[in-house]
Amino acid sequence: MNSEVVKNFLNGYSIEVTPNAAAKIESFAEVLPANTRIYIAHIEGTPFEEMLKTAKKITDEGFIPMPHFPARIIDSKKTLESWIGQYSDKANVQEALLIAGGANKPVGEFDSSIQLIETEFFDKFNFKRIHIAGHPEGNRDIDKDNTNDNVNKALSWKNEYAKRTDAQMAIATQFCFDSDAIIQWANSLIEMNIDIPIHIGIAGPAKLQTLIRYSIECGVGASMKVLQKRAKDITKLLLPYEPNEVINGLAIHKLNNPNFNIEKVHFFPLGGTKTTANWVNNI
């Protein structure tokens, strides 16, 4: 691993937490660099009060909270407006990740992140940054025919939205293990004239079994061959996976292609927040 190149590539990384994980961290300042963006995963069934409490903790400690807004678990426009307003007023939240969410059926009138944007509630409460989902290996929930047609159509709509407004936007992606697959996908967006910067999702260090389980649950398919190959190596089977190979591949590509559209790295700390942060800090 070229440590200096990788260090530059990881600069300004973000990380994701759940309210439960955040509650176990006494001080984010002891774990993460100052001003780190911390996404807050809103898993179906999590009370909004827990999300708000987590956002306030992150703000109070001097970090940047970015809560998820999963369209399909929001039951009405009234609820959406209430959530945005409370985040803004009580936790000084100014950023959001908008996703469709994993629920098979919407509980209310929202089925997509585009519909959330169209309410204009985020403008009303002066949110400065909106991130949207990206899927380097496709999304079978949206494109059941194994194409990327619907996903790409939605990204094109959001790209046009970003151009006609002053919204700061980025594509935060699902995690992926294969740098070649990521580079190919990122370049395909350029070919479609989608110029929203990418914050690439990377799984942090974790047990191999944990990663395989999450990969199956999250629909990460093609790049799982990286994990499968590792699982066949007896010498590595019991060792924690670390994302050295994928990070190094992307960092070198970025060095050789300065205009490459991956802007930041976003970590999914599947082996624990502190474990991921310590791995990055060691670099």
pLDDT tens, position by position, 203-260: 999 887 777 765 656 555 555 555 555 555 554 555 678 999 999 999 999 999 999 9
Assigned domain for 216 exists: no
pLDDT in tens, 45-64: 999 999 999 999 999 999 99
Assigned domain for 223 exists: no
Question: No. of H helices and E strands in the chain?
Answer: 13, 8
- Tally of domains in the chain: 1
Q: Residue type at 63?
A: F
Residue 147 CB neighbour total at 10 angstroms: 10
Assigned domain for 83 exists: yes
Dist. CA 270–CA 111, nearest whole Å: 27
Domain coverage including residue 148: 3-206+243-282
Q: Residue type at 155?
A: L
Question: Residue holding tokens 């990070």?
Answer: 247
Radius of gyration of the chain (CA): 18
Assigned domain for 234 exists: no
Residue 151 CB neighbour total at 10 angstroms: 17
Length in residues, the chain: 283
pLDDT in tens, 191-210: 999 999 999 999 999 887 77
According to the model, what pLDDT value does residue 54 have?
98
Assigned domain for 21 exists: yes
Assigned domain for 136 exists: yes
Assigned domain for 214 exists: no
Q: Is the pLDDT of residue 138 over 70?
A: no
Exposure string (b/e) for 231-249, b if CB count within 10 Å is 16 or more? beeeeeeeeebbbeebbbe
Q: Which tokens in the block code for residue 159?
A: 């790209």
Domain with residue 32: its CATH number is 3.20.20.220
Assigned domain for 233 exists: no
Angle (nearest 5°) at CA 236 between 231 and 241: 80
Q: Is the pLDDT of residue 23 over 70?
A: yes
Between the alpha carbon of residue 230 and those of residues 52, 220, 226, 269, 272, the distances in Å are 39, 16, 6, 19, 21
Dist. CA 200–CA 211, nearest whole Å: 17
